[in-house]
Structure 1
Amino acid sequence: MYGHIHIILKDLINVSFSAEKWAEILARSGFEEEQILESVQHPDEVSFQLLGATCEVTGLDLEEVLEAFGRHFIEFTLQSGYGRLFKALGNSFPSFVANVNYLHNHLERQHPHALFPYIEVVHEDGQNSMELHYSSTRSGMKKIVVGTLTELGRQMFDLEVSMVEQQSPRYFQRDMVNSGHRAASWCVSWKPVEGVTSSSSSSSRQAKMSFPELHFAMMDLGKFLNSSFFDPFSCCRQQFQLRECISASPSEAERKFAEVQGLSLDRQEEILLRATPASCLAAAWTDDHMKTCRKFWSSSVGTSSNYALSHDADWVDVFVSHSWQPPVDWEQMMGPDVDYAEIKAATLAVMAKDVATAQRSLQEWGQITFWVDKACIAQDHAELKAMSIKLLDNFIAKCDSMCVLFTWTYLERLWCVYEWACVLVHKPTEKVHLQTELFVKEETLPLYLGAVRNFSLANTKCGFEEDRRVLEAKINEAYVSKDHFEVLVQATVIALMARSMAFRAGRSPKLYETYYQPWVTLARDLGMNDLANALGSCDCLTWRRVSSISSSNCGAMRRTSSSLSANSTTETKDIVSPSSDRSQVVTPECHYDLMQMSIGVNSLAFHEVISDWFEIDVVPILAKFQETSTK
């Protein structure tokens, strides 16, 4: 467990008992305080040993300690300043609880060895009760759930929550592949706390903050000992770094324009290619410079100070493709308090951290470079801007990958489609990364499916009709026909959306049916049977379970090519690393025993397995589409 769990346990003992009791618990457990409070992943045995010592010192049994801890977890978090963030999970008690899964899914990207439970909620609108099904890789932790939810209802929704344990449905036990001690179910009911007005106690009480806002803040919760919450100097450091980003000369555009006069396109490309550090454009929700990033993303109008955010470059890590305008139904789909500009800044911070983790180290994510039009093209210098736009295709070729902030109206924007047309000429499909986590939910999923099914160049929108001729010229130059291009766009979007949804779908069969299966069905509906078969070979539910970690570090698990489709060419893929030489093989016969072990998911390993599958099974199918579509 992460160190902040031990911090909360310490606070519980100090508040409910005394500092002397905490010192006695440390002595009995044999740990030094500095060791167990460090904000890193600790073996579960450390936490369980602390809990055992707590029972001995306080005279409480384990279930009483766990329930008290669950209650204090909510109290501690709210008092630490995260109250507004917690309220973003949902505007009613049942929706709040149901959305916890999405939070856990995102947190895995920042804490790959953390063990998050799965929660399923069955609730009918208007009812003051629900069924709650809970599954965890850890046994004996049910009382934490009871303490957390009862205190959550009281503190945030002014509700008195009652939980009666009941038998878990057979489908839940079967689908979770859990033994009885890891799955639990309750009938949860609630009523307003006496003395509280109905306007504040209703189960539909409005949250003060959106779920996406919570997501980005909570991604850093596990590391909050290293954040500005505990470091009064970090704000000054970040502001200094930001000032460094914008210290370039305001005459930079004029100097560049004079330099490229009379040069060939290749030389112009070398001189005009620029890159912007992620630290200037991206921010986790709790970062001090989020306001500055939000201002940047709030308008497409660029200035010399925006151009000064970028610097000369020979190569760029990520090309950012996006629409400056949110979908017209953004507020209806996402909520009135969700800021499109903030979502962009925070999403790019996640992307930068993913790239940094793969290429360098997480701590260096601010050095990852982005190509963003507003910062890398001199927007207020007409001649230089025109030159740079003509070189857009060349700039994309000089970027290692493309990040798409993929809303459900992305395919309606002509310039977005133009960038897609360019990248499919220069990059393999696996180099395109759709950032969809915050945009895709049950309400918006049908909009995505409809946008892909009905995609047509004729339906794309642009500010000036002459821009359409630019796109048509690009398609005539690089593609066999407009129809071939449209089919290629549909195929690549379906495949990339399926890859994105596979990470979410691996958590449960319900999520698989809701978010992954529709993309397989759409491929088949459009006559792309080979693609549908390749997507259907994704066994993300099993792969997630097999992508495991254990306290005993029992070695790497591998999967063989027999678990892939007929397109597979690699004999064996290591589930932890494609280059690993560890050879323990997991066969179907030992899957059941493996799942009964006290293990959890290694999210990095799971992501690598999904990436392996995509490259082995899906990319060859997409390559055939590209071969038949491009000249």
Structure 2
Amino acid sequence: MHGLIHVVWKEFIVHQYGHRLWDQALHAEALDESLILQLKQHEDEMTLGMMRACLSAAAANLEDCLEAFGAFFVRFAVRQGWHQWLQGMGNSWQEAAFPTACTAFACDICQEFIQNLNDMHHVLERDFRSARFPVFKSRQAGTSFYLTYSSSRFFPSLAKGIVTEISDALFDVHLELTEISREKTEVTWKVTERPSQRCSPDAGKAEFSSWSFFDFHKVMASLCKTFDCCEQDCKPSAEVVTADNCSEGTNMESPETDRDEMRNQYSTSVSTISMDDSLASQGESLPTLEKIRAKFGTEEHLLMWLGGQSPDTRLELARTLHREVRAGRVASSWYEIGITQYSSFWDPERRDDFYHWSESCQEEAPLQNHQGHSIMMYFQAITHRAPLRFVSHAWGSPQDWHEVMGKKCKYEDVKAAELCIAAKDIAAEYLQDANRWEEVRFWIDKCCIRQNEPEFMAVSIQLIEEFIQLCDGMVVILTWSYLQRLWCVYEWACFLVFHEPHDLVICAESLYRAGTEERFLESVRHFSVRSCQCSDPADRSVLRQKISEYYGCCENFERFLRVSVIAITVRCLAARAARNHLCIGKWISLAEELGLKELAAGLQKAAPQAWRQQAMEEQVSDMQFYIKAQSDTWFAEHMFPILAAERRRAVQRHIFRTMILRKETVRRALSDSNFKQPTLKAGRALRVRHKLAPATA
């Protein structure tokens, strides 16, 4: 069980019985307090032994005490000020509660809360990969509402205490949970309610209606950073995450701590990249209009000159201008949200020159001092590089952003956090260490295109297609308004002409939830190129012409886009659907509604809940990595053939042949000794090893 439970358990015991009994219990089990309070995963037997010793000394009943502890855990969170986030998990109990005669509306609201709760646990599992969070399910039968709790550790009394106290302490609703069935790892309660007699701990609860699920996870993550119930010299700890699941728990970096220092101290591998903010050394190497004209032997305005050039010349110019930015500069962990550096970058109103944040793809980044690491670790680090990903996103937030996500939830903060999650996944796969996520490389227009020189920017925009070709993959920060932006749609279209679907990754961890699910479905259901928005009318005609050039007509493209968005979105949701089948079920229904029967049949073969159950039975140490491997296998076997056939059907034949030749040209360009290359699919090899290697003693 996670060390956070130990921390709150200590306060519970001390509050109920005093310090003497706590010390007595630790002595009886020969436990070191400084070790058991570390925020990492501990053996269940140690946790249970500690609890039994406390209960034995207090002569208390285990089940009764666990239920009381669950309620205490919620009160602990309230005292820390975290009840604002508990109250802000979507449209939940504060609006509908649990009426004795449940209406359909009330049931929907309750189910939304349960789905948000499961989503929260899923995101926490990405930060603490060896942790095992429970799964909650809800259903309505007539006028009755039922709640099911499932966990490999199975502490139903603890869960019961938490659920009832949340409703009582925060929403003035007293729940009565009557057990109607119990299996080895699952219990189901019938839920009824009556008005609570006590007041909410904060009379101004109305002001919290604008807080969102995103905020709640931010604060839950901060649990692992600091809290006032710990000894002052007891530093919270978290886990180093590696793709081969061989790491141990170590301290979590904090905003006050230098990231490079933390990475060197706790990572299982070594970073070779210097994250020094001083990039003055780039001054002479930065491309200028004069250097470009001299290199290509022209005095013309570059935009006019570019229009008459061959594809190979365009690609060579794109290589000259091709840049990358490290994830550590533009992304942030959940507990760092609000730090000016990251929010200012993603603020669409900020027009600062961020070009100096990026570096040329043709120059090696300065190596970081590897003192304290073995030569072998350093060699492994410099031979493993993360691929370069093109980031596709809409700079402006959806018009109903605050209505859906909460008034205090900032779009730019969410984007920084979403990109960090993607970077951690890429680092775990390709660098074999998620703690090296800052090294992951992205192409982002705001810092990879010089914004303060009109001619420079105009040429770079004309080379977007070439920049996409030079990248290894794409990361899409997907909002429900993404498909309404013509530039975003063009980037998606261009990428899937030149690259394979498995190299396109969607970021929507905090964006896709119960309150936004229908908006995402509607964006695909009603997608049309004609209705896409574009701020510059001149861009609209050019982009639509490009789409027609690739796909022949809008109808071909619109079908292919729907198929690809549905397939890739479901792959993104697969890990979360391990907790909630509704995530995939509605997309299967949408595919059937759109007449995409083969796609719907392929989607039905995804079995995320079975993958999770298998992972639990095999006791894998990294649930997220295991489920991702299963999801990738499903996608390769059942989705890729469908997408390949749809692409052959939609893309113009001469374009298809041209793109095959262009791929070879790009491959040769990337093999140039002066051009930085990513590791040769290290992550793919890891997935094969993870799946096929026999167990060894």
Tell me which interval the TM-score lies in, with the shorter structure as reference length. 0.7 to 0.9
**Pairwise CA distance, 1:373:** 0.8
Match of 1:103 in 2: 120
Contact 2:338 2:413 in 1 (8 A): no
Determine if the alignment matches structure 1 residue 214 to structure 2 residue 216.
yes
**Pairwise CA distance, 1:195:** 6.3
Question: Counterparts of 2:425 and 2:222 in 1: how far apart (Å)?
Answer: 14
Match of 2:692 in 1: none
Contact 1:549 1:602 in 2 (8 A): no
Label 1:187 to 1:438 Cα distance change in 2 as closer, same or farther (>3 A). same
Secondary structure in structure 2 of the residue aligned to 1:403: strand
Question: Counterparts of 2:237 and 2:454 in 1: how far apart (Å)?
Answer: 45
Label 1:265 to 1:499 Cα distance change in 2 as closer, same or farther (>3 A). same
Determine if the alignment matches structure 1 residue 527 to structure 2 residue 595.
yes
Contact 1:323 1:416 in 2 (8 A): yes
Question: Counterparts of 1:259 and 1:54 in 2: how far apart (Å)?
Answer: 74
Label 1:626 to 1:333 Cα distance change in 2 as closer, same or farther (>3 A). same
Label 1:626 to 1:327 Cα distance change in 2 as closer, same or farther (>3 A). same
Match of 1:72 in 2: 72
**Pairwise CA distance, 1:233:** 7.8
Work out which of the residue numbers 260, 264, 274 in structure 1 matches 2:292: 260
Match of 1:547 in 2: 615
Contact 2:168 2:175 in 1 (8 A): no
Secondary structure in structure 2 of the residue aligned to 1:343: helix
Secondary structure in structure 1 of the residue aligned to 2:407: coil
Label 1:2 to 1:272 Cα distance change in 2 as closer, same or farther (>3 A). same
Label 1:295 to 1:92 Cα distance change in 2 as closer, same or farther (>3 A). farther
Determine if the alignment matches structure 1 residue 311 to structure 2 residue 359.
yes
Percent sequence identity over matched residues?
29
Q: Greater shift after overlay, 341-350 or 246-255? A: 246-255
Match of 2:12 in 1: 12
Secondary structure in structure 1 of the residue aligned to 2:472: strand
RMSD, aligned α-carbons: 3.4
Match of 1:189 in 2: 193
Work out which of the residue numbers 640, 643, 651 in structure 2 matches 1:619: 640
Q: Greater shift after overlay, 283-292 or 245-254? A: 245-254
- What amino acid does structure 2 have at the position aligned with 1:405? I
Work out which of the residue numbers 292, 311, 320 in structure 1 matches 2:341: 292
Contact 2:573 2:583 in 1 (8 A): yes
**Pairwise CA distance, 1:436:** 2.4
Secondary structure in structure 2 of the residue aligned to 1:328: coil
Contact 2:70 2:162 in 1 (8 A): yes
Question: Counterparts of 2:47 and 2:67 in 1: how far apart (Å)?
Answer: 15
Work out which of the residue numbers 159, 179, 187 in structure 2 matches 1:166: 179
Question: Counterparts of 1:496 and 1:364 in 2: how far apart (Å)?
Answer: 26
What are the equivalent positions in structure 2 for 1:367-446 lying under 5 Å apart?
A: 367-446=439-518
Contact 1:318 1:401 in 2 (8 A): yes
Match of 2:152 in 1: 137
- What amino acid does structure 2 have at the position aligned with 1:163? E
TM-score computed with the length of structure 2 as normaliser: 0.73
Q: Which string of whole-angstrom CA distances, capped at 9 and with x for unpartnered residues, describes residues 543-574 of structure 1? A: 32222246xx5xx8xxxxxxxxxxxxxxxxxx
List gaps (5 residues or longer) in structure 1: 169-177, 557-575, 577-600
Secondary structure in structure 2 of the residue aligned to 1:459: coil
TM-score computed with the length of structure 1 as normaliser: 0.80
- What amino acid does structure 2 have at the position aligned with 1:619? F
User: Using CA pairs below 8 Å that are at least 6 residues apart, which structure has the higher relative contact order?
Assistant: 2
Question: Counterparts of 1:372 and 1:274 in 2: how far apart (Å)?
Answer: 9
Contact 1:302 1:375 in 2 (8 A): no
Contact 1:302 1:378 in 2 (8 A): no
Match of 2:650 in 1: 629
List gaps (5 residues or longer) in structure 2: 98-109, 227-235, 239-250, 263-273, 297-312, 363-385, 656-697
Question: Counterparts of 1:401 and 1:445 in 2: how far apart (Å)?
Answer: 26
Q: Which string of whole-angstrom CA distances, capped at 9 and with x for unpartnered residues, describes residues 442-501 of structure 1? A: 443333223223322222111112112322343344334433222211110111122223
- Paired positions, count: 561
Label 1:35 to 1:236 Cα distance change in 2 as closer, same or farther (>3 A). closer
Contact 2:152 2:616 in 1 (8 A): no
What are the equivalent positions in structure 2 for 1:354-373 lying under 5 Å apart?
A: 354-360=425-431, 361-373=433-445
- What amino acid does structure 1 have at the position aligned with 2:322? L
Label 1:8 to 1:196 Cα distance change in 2 as closer, same or farther (>3 A). closer
Work out which of the residue numbers 600, 606, 613 in structure 2 matches 1:538: 606
Question: Counterparts of 1:39 and 1:197 in 2: how far apart (Å)?
Answer: 28
Determine if the alignment matches structure 1 residue 156 to structure 2 residue 170.
yes
Q: Which string of whole-angstrom CA distances, capped at 9 and with x for unpartnered residues, describes residues 162-187 of structure 1? A: 4242314xxxxxxxxx7266313142
Question: Counterparts of 2:42 and 2:292 in 1: how far apart (Å)?
Answer: 56
Determine if the alignment matches structure 1 residue 464 to structure 2 residue 530.
no
